[in-house]
Structure 1
Amino acid sequence: MTGRDDELEAIATVLDGGALLLTGRAGSGRSALLEAAAERAAASAIRVLRGAGSTVEADLAYAGLNQLLWPLRAHVDDLGAAHRDALRSALGLDAGPPPDRLVVATAALTLLTRAAPVLLLVDDLHRIDPASAAVVGFLARRLDGSGAALLAATDAGDDATGIGTLAVRPLGEEAASALLTTHFPDLAGRVRRRVLATARGSPLALHELPAALTSAQRSGTRELPDPLPLGPRLAALYGARLAALPAPTRRLLLLVALDGRGGSDALASAGDLADLLPAERADLVTVDACRIRFHDPLARCAVVALAPPGERRAAHSLLAEGADRPERRAWHLARATLGPDERVAGLLMRAAHTHRRRGDAAGAYAAMVRAADLSPRGADRSRRLAEAASVRADVDLRGVSRLLGDARHADPGRRGSVPAAVASAHLVLNDDGDVDTAHRLLVAALDDRDPAHVDALQTLLTVCAFGGRDELWAPFHAAVARLRPGPPTLLALGASLVADPARATPADLALLDDLTGRLHDEVDPARIVAVGRAALFADRMAACREAHRRVVRDGQRGGAVIAVVRALVNLCLDGVRTGRWAEATRLAAEGQALCAPHGYRMLRWPLRFGTALVAAAQGDETTANDLAGRMLGWAATQGARSVTRAAHHVLAVAALSRGDAEEAYRHTIQVSPPGVLAANAPLALWSGIDLVEAAVRTGRHAEAAAHATALGRVAPLSPRLAVVAAAAVATVDPSGDRFAAALAVPGAERWPFDLARVRLAYGEWLRRHHATAAAREHLVAAKHAFAQLGAVPWTARADAELRAAGVATAAGPAVLTPQEREIALLAATGLTNKEIGQRLHLSHRTVGAHLYRVFPKLGIGSRAALRDALSPEGMTTGPDRPESIAHR
């Protein structure tokens, strides 16, 4: 009884005596509610008497009453003579003249009152015989206080009894979805959406529509028919209504149902609006300004399902003649054709390419599969199945292996094609994560004479980006350079901004800006996410967000899943960079939920990377370390160098968050070496400031300076990089002017975490130079920004700086690890970092890193304050600014 709490509550109020009429369309769940009422009554020791209307017995007087009262027939003789004789005659126990209805009704009321507690259930009251219906109405108005109750169900709008009614409405979206999950938990997402849209809250339809599909259709590996097939009970519900219509009406309804666009093609082919009047009177359709609309999607399904196959084919032939677009004509011809037909197959392939250009990967795939079915020659069938497999890989990876197997079987002697290599690469990349095998498949299949060559290069771009190794990129760049007259725009953009954004040219950025400016008119989701991927590391995703959100919304209604996941990846990582961390985490979870069911396992890693980065910055080391560890473990065996770099970036941020500059440096140089923004490593643009800060704090000034110089060369790429580059230079060679220049970059506020880090560093510098008032301003702003982001350890650092600047803040008790406390106690005695390291068998840099974490925890700024801070009285405050501890 999912979603029926209100109805069940209303039913419960009448079980002790009273009557209620349930109204609703067939399939709305009226009968299920009656059954639930019977179970409740039985549990309360209330006797249940059942009856149901039937067209077979509609002309038999008192046939319905016979059903209801037959179990009580032994007690009829206990009634008074007049009541006894009338009721025995009505129930067919005695022969005789027709009894008076009022006497019969009164006798029934007396019998039920004596049998109380009792519940009468009458289903399909609109089909019950008139004599019984009159008695039921009489009883319904007189049961209050009798101990007997009546529940009846009838069609929507019918109120034969004049008693109180309860409309049984369609289930709401949430309840319908829950019901579907309960009975069909493994239904593929787009199949689920289609069923929900067709069922429109009908519980019967929610049970029958999925049951009528094949297991392959339910799992999403086979395309769904349009309209959906009906189950037997749904067919029976609509069959009688359709059979009663005149033949011309049924023929035109079939044309309208197969047209699927409101009847425009149907009317152009064989239409006469007058033929639809009987269907309007039967409440099946509405005709308005030559537009024909089915009241119920199930009615459309029934019209098609109940039509003989020959009539359906003839209708498609008529619709093909009147179709206004080539692809619609191709589809109707394909459905009207029984055997192989190369002409129709060719038309379908052209329709498939039109679908694909419009961003409809699912439509393109369905057309290609049907074209393969209609192909007379094995070679054509094999080629079309392979192309369908490559397109299917964009919709759902499930079923791709079967398609490739069918392609090989159709033409066993055929060598692998470019589309087959594309599909196989997707499978290898996502099933096993084997970057090198996917790369070999694609490189071996490249053939610039094949129309699928550019698709193969786009897939190779993805493989190289995951691999992140120079030797993988070389064949890609060579193949792109061979294209004549030149590579397509998106491929050229990917070869620059996806492969190596640090070396993008002004022309590349101008092209990107032009494409992002036109995304509002773009309909192809693959192009939208490709532009977004190029924009991400050039910090231009702001112009792409709305188009990406549109991809996600459209995809949730049945579009290409891979485009949805890639859009979520771009939006998630953009959210990480721009401080929308809660949104980024939510988008990552949403994307990961789509990956596994549809086979896109590879795309889980950039989503996990986004989650891990947020966790690292917020101080959730358990999550950050766990995800980074899994990334490292997986990438090590799969050759995915970009995933390895991403994991090291996470660990570097986590280390900086907890104040361990030595470990941070160790991880940042795995992303890119100092002084170099590594080729084919886009993450070098994100981790650059981390390397500079870690190098400075561990005394590696030459490395820090070299890397700051490298960042300065890419500053023109975006305002964020201009902020980062200026901050890097200021960190290496601090001056107020350099920090101020970083903060003055137009649009710097779009990257709140980066900006807050600059403010923190600037505040430290100002306080060290005794500009306390100005220092407080920047430190307060940094603390507020960190707190807004939930960056707990960074908030604590800013808080400690504020206390050192003489600002009273709410501080909790310091909590030191055993090793931190041991190092702090030794430092309090006056030992240098080197002396402490020798005593504890640690490097002086490790000692310095530990003390760097200890000072903010204790709220102090110098070694001189350690002794007091380590005493019970001084564990939370300290007036001084941290001195440089890296070289002590």
Structure 2
Amino acid sequence: MTERSSTLIGRDTVLAELRDQARRVGEHGSRFLLLTGVSGCGRTALVERFAAHHDGPVLRAVGASWETTRDYGIIDQLAPGAVDVSDPVAAAERFARHLAGLAGTVLVVVDDAHWADEASLQTLASTVRHHPRLRLLVVATAVEGDTRVPAGIGALLRRIATVEIPVEPLTAAEVAAVAASFGIVLSPPVADTLCRHTGGRVRYVRELLREVPRRTWSRFDPVLPAPAAVSARVRDLLADCSDAARRFVGAVAVLGPAAAVREAAALAELGDEEVLDAVDEACTAGLVVLTAHGPAEISPADSLVRAAVLEIMGPAAAARAYRRAADLVDDRVRRLRLLVAASFAPDQELADRLDAVAAERAAEGAWAEAASLFTDASRLTEDRLLRERRLTRAVDALIGSGDAFGAAALVPEVESLRETPLRNAVLGYLAIVRGRAAEAEARLDRAWELVNVDRDPDVAALICQRHVLHALVRCRPDELVAWADRAVTLAGPDAPAGIEAAAIRGLGLAARGRVEQAKAAYATLADRVRHGAQAQRVLMGRGWLDLTLDQVDDARAALETAVPTTFSGGSTRISLWARAWLARAQFLAGEWDDSLRTVAEAATLLDRTGIVLAGPLLHWTGATIHALRGQWRQAERQLRRIDAVPQEYELMRLCACLARAQIAEARADAAGVLRALRPLAQGWITTHLDDTGSWPWADLYAHALVQQNRYTEADEFLTRRENRVGLRHSRSERARLAAARGRLLGAQGDLDRAINAFDRALTLLADLPLRYDQARVNFAYGQTLRRAGKRRDADVALSTARELFAGLGAATYVSRCDRELKAGGQPGARADTELTPQEQAVSQLVARGLSNREVAAELYVSTKTVQYHLTRIYAKLGIRSRAELAALWGRAGL
């Protein structure tokens, strides 16, 4: 298998730095660059790529471990016979004279400079320092972390280097790109596995992609070997070790990372004196490393060395060692894993033990560990029906842990099994997290049709709990509560299915208007489920509810706690939802930089897990912030990520609509807002969706109707919404609707009632930490007052809005506030003094390319008013077209 591309993936930044340093040679004189990185990180390939495009002479030398004591060995490679002195300063003079006859910038490449002789390095350093006009660029590469390298040479290299450039390991995404160049598609989890196994070292990534059978990469849990070259090196190192050291290295490989030295010694059958010598010998050889955690712990040097050692031991010897090791360790799960590693044939007794522990871990919500244990139990089970059930449970646990890619890799195998209620429930669960609503509904309905509730209540409860998730993202609160109640009844309140259903049930209650009941349910559940992975689910659900009730600080605290997956193996799926809602909470509280960081972190997790269901919710927040900051390319990028997956679920479509509407509003495109929100206004989502007002779309729609002069429609729409508003609605939703009503009343000329509506909106928001909502209401208030001729009052509202928007970094609205203030006559406007403030604002927007309708929406005036001002502007400035106006503004630097 060969690579299809010669691109150095993930190395653009380093290559750019090398090119920049080469340019500096011409400006500032000779330089010495040091490229450092772990063995196999691709230093040599990088320098060779750089040298291949260098416009000038290139001299090369390579260090070797057996030549470190040969003085001037490197210099002799670069300039054979040119230096025959014993003093590095004099040698530098001779070497400089040799280089003086070469034209252009001379590139000297010293690969593996950590094995260079000291005299040569001193000569190169003196040449760079004392002959800056030579236009000499020395690029040396050196390995990090190799204990065999003389310490003095490493220190010397760092002392003489002008610049040190680290070559970092590849990321998982870059590893996937390398695999793609081989024609191999890696799922994000498998790319992450390969990245961790190789330490991101590109040499070993490429070697494994060439050596490992292609079918291995389609597995969700590939067991990867060491590259042949690593195995050969480890074999040579072991051959040079004593028998005691070899046995000790083998024991450490069997026990795995962070093993106690005493365990390794016992497994290797070494006495106290022998083990000290063995540890020292193995560490010196670079086969093991001591760790700093707790009592003396030791680990294989890395995953590749461990794989090589186990391969060299052979299957039989390794299996015997695994069984002996299982008798030495105390941890139950670790003991079982060692026994699994020793098993090459079905073992019913071991499979049953694995299944029992897996069920316990699943009951605690530790799905990742449960998935691994169920998978091992399935592999060791001979009975076909039992094996199929355990494999199906493994897939279910993988989904629960958030590994949709790993679960999807097993789908062909699961689909080939006989049809059972559990099989359909698991495949329906996977369809949910992958955003496939129709498939999920069909699978779950079929599972419920097949299950015998009396004979198999646990599976029936599991199906109910999956229906709860499905109803949640379909925005069907009545169904959600009904299925949750069934799940709790069938499983019991303390069973996993019962707890998970209860953790979501409160959201359904709130959506039905039973907010107090929902809050009480979460309080009871939180008291009962305080620890473990299930607590993560409760915290996420409670944080979601708090956010819909304007309890932003409480929501943020709960969601921040639900983000980590350290809850005894907590779910990545729950963590992803918690991050999506945390980003929303941070946005509402005005912590936009934190919100964008949360979005970025969650987006990486989203890509790695394959849980597309949460994507639109996450990217809606990112798109909103970027649009409000005028970062249009980033906003559109977020929107493209939303559109990259089918939006079958109502929750996904809702967030997509809101993202488009927010971008359109930030662009002052009222018609675009109406287009984006039309599906919501037409009611394709159940009316229960807005019973808490948790989705801020109605005011966007109403404001846009007013800006389009569709007053009758706006009045009818707001009346319908207001008739449904009660105390169960959040204060923020009532404030938003009041502000929209104020804008409509102002547009209709009823200023007194408009002022009352805006004041009511601001009162509702007064003690809430919703800075963006406060800014929006003040902005609409100021626009309305300015249009009514109340310039002084308008300035107060607009200045308040501007200050709030500026604090958030909402550049689009800061500019809009400035234009409103100028149009109102506030001093400081930059424009031709012949124009009135309103004419200045109109002319600036027209010069930017906005149509009359868009200018009218931006300034909150009619299109006739815009045309009137435009006619006067043309007459005052002596121009006849929009193009001339744009040119005039351009010359003015405005």
Within 5 Å, give how 1:49-198 maps onto structure 2: 166=157, 172-173=167-168, 180=175, 183-185=178-180, 186-197=185-196
Shift of 1:339: 1.7
Within 5 Å, give how 1:862-881 maps onto structure 2: 867=868, 870-872=871-873
Whole-angstrom CA distance in 2 between matches of 1:171 and 1:142: 24
Within 5 Å, give how 1:187-336 maps onto structure 2: 187-197=186-196, 199-200=198-199, 204-208=203-207, 215=214, 218=217, 221-225=219-223, 229-259=225-255, 260-263=257-260, 265-266=263-264, 272-274=271-273, 275-282=275-282, 283=284, 284-286=288-290, 290-294=295-299, 296-297=301-302, 298-336=304-342
**Counterpart of 2:577?**
566
Q: Give the direction of change, closer, same or farther, for the CA distance of 1:351–1:171 in structure 2 (3 Å limit).
A: farther
**Counterpart of 1:495?**
505
Unpaired stretches in structure 2, ≥5 consecutive residues: 1-7, 85-90, 128-133, 746-751, 830-836, 878-894
Once the two structures are superposed, what CA deviation does each residue of 1:51-74 show, in whole Å capped at 9, x if it has no partner?
A: 96789xx9xxx9xx9xx99xx9xx
2:803 to 754, 760, 784: 784
Once the two structures are superposed, what CA deviation does each residue of 1:824-856 show, in whole Å capped at 9, x if it has no partner?
A: 9xxxxxxxxxxxxxxxxxxxxxxxxx6xx7657
**Counterpart of 1:841?**
none
**Counterpart of 1:505?**
515
- Does the Cα contact within 8 Å between 1:616 and 1:650 map onto a contact in 2? no
Whole-angstrom CA distance in 1 between matches of 2:121 and 2:355: 64
SS of residue matched to 2:726: helix
Within 5 Å, give how 1:517-532 maps onto structure 2: 523=533, 529-532=540-543
Shift of 1:478: 6.7
- Does the Cα contact within 8 Å between 2:615 and 2:642 map onto a contact in 1? no
- Does the Cα contact within 8 Å between 2:189 and 2:220 map onto a contact in 1? no
**Counterpart of 2:722?**
708
**Counterpart of 2:834?**
none
SS of residue matched to 2:410: helix
Partner amino acid for 1:497?
Answer: L
Within 5 Å, give how 1:284-683 maps onto structure 2: 284-286=288-290, 290-294=295-299, 296-297=301-302, 298-356=304-362, 360-394=366-400, 395-401=402-408, 403-407=410-414, 409=416, 414-427=418-431, 430=434, 433-434=437-438, 436-444=441-449, 449-468=456-475, 476=483, 479-480=486-487, 482-483=489-490, 485=492, 488-498=498-508, 501=511, 503-512=513-522, 523=533, 529-540=540-551, 542-545=553-556, 562-580=573-591, 584=595, 588=599, 591=602, 595=606, 598-611=609-622, 613-614=624-625, 638=648, 640-649=649-658, 670-671=679-680, 678-681=687-690
Once the two structures are superposed, what CA deviation does each residue of 1:687-745 show, in whole Å capped at 9, x if it has no partner?
A: 34345656777145465345224323324xx5534644665776778376664454345
SS of residue matched to 1:293: strand
2:711 to 652, 677, 698: 698
Q: Give the direction of change, closer, same or farther, for the CA distance of 1:772–1:509 in structure 2 (3 Å limit).
A: farther
Partner amino acid for 2:728?
Answer: V
Whole-angstrom CA distance in 2 between matches of 1:370 and 1:35: 46
**Counterpart of 1:843?**
none
- Does the Cα contact within 8 Å between 1:671 and 1:681 map onto a contact in 2? no
SS of residue matched to 1:712: coil
Partner amino acid for 1:566?
Answer: W
Whole-angstrom CA distance in 1 between matches of 2:399 and 2:583: 23
2:732 to 699, 720, 724: 720
Q: Give the direction of change, closer, same or farther, for the CA distance of 1:138–1:347 in structure 2 (3 Å limit).
A: same
* Number of residues of Structure 1 aligned to a counterpart in Structure 2: 781
TM-score (norm. length: structure 2): 0.68
- Does the Cα contact within 8 Å between 1:500 and 1:680 map onto a contact in 2? no
- Does the Cα contact within 8 Å between 1:499 and 1:680 map onto a contact in 2? no
The two structures, once aligned, show a CA RMSD in angstroms of: 6.1
Q: Give the direction of change, closer, same or farther, for the CA distance of 1:600–1:773 in structure 2 (3 Å limit).
A: same
**Counterpart of 2:890?**
none
Whole-angstrom CA distance in 2 between matches of 1:347 and 1:124: 52
Which deviates further from its counterpart, 323-332 or 699-708? Answer: 699-708
- Does the Cα contact within 8 Å between 2:44 and 2:141 map onto a contact in 1? no
- Does the Cα contact within 8 Å between 1:501 and 1:537 map onto a contact in 2? no
**Counterpart of 2:779?**
760
Partner amino acid for 1:383?
Answer: R
**Counterpart of 1:847?**
none
- Does the Cα contact within 8 Å between 1:53 and 1:124 map onto a contact in 2? no
TM-score (norm. length: structure 1): 0.68
- Does the Cα contact within 8 Å between 1:652 and 1:665 map onto a contact in 2? yes
Q: Give the direction of change, closer, same or farther, for the CA distance of 1:504–1:429 in structure 2 (3 Å limit).
A: same
- Does the Cα contact within 8 Å between 2:548 and 2:693 map onto a contact in 1? no
Whole-angstrom CA distance in 1 between matches of 2:419 and 2:560: 41
Shift of 1:609: 3.8
Once the two structures are superposed, what CA deviation does each residue of 1:548-578 show, in whole Å capped at 9, x if it has no partner?
A: 56776769xx986544543443234434544
Shift of 1:341: 1.4
- Does the Cα contact within 8 Å between 2:762 and 2:777 map onto a contact in 1? yes
**Counterpart of 1:840?**
none
* Identical-residue share of aligned pairs (%): 21
Whole-angstrom CA distance in 2 between matches of 1:51 and 1:159: 13
Partner amino acid for 2:474?
Answer: G
- Does the Cα contact within 8 Å between 2:33 and 2:140 map onto a contact in 1? yes
- Does the Cα contact within 8 Å between 1:438 and 1:463 map onto a contact in 2? no
- Does the Cα contact within 8 Å between 1:29 and 1:204 map onto a contact in 2? yes
Q: Give the direction of change, closer, same or farther, for the CA distance of 1:774–1:156 in structure 2 (3 Å limit).
A: same
Once the two structures are superposed, what CA deviation does each residue of 1:580-629 show, in whole Å capped at 9, x if it has no partner?
A: 55665665566556556654344433345445555776789999899989
Shift of 1:499: 7.0
Whole-angstrom CA distance in 1 between matches of 2:343 and 2:478: 50
Partner amino acid for 1:247?
Answer: D
SS of residue matched to 1:753: helix
Partner amino acid for 1:713?
Answer: L
Shift of 1:451: 3.1
Which deviates further from its counterpart, 865-874 or 391-400? Answer: 865-874
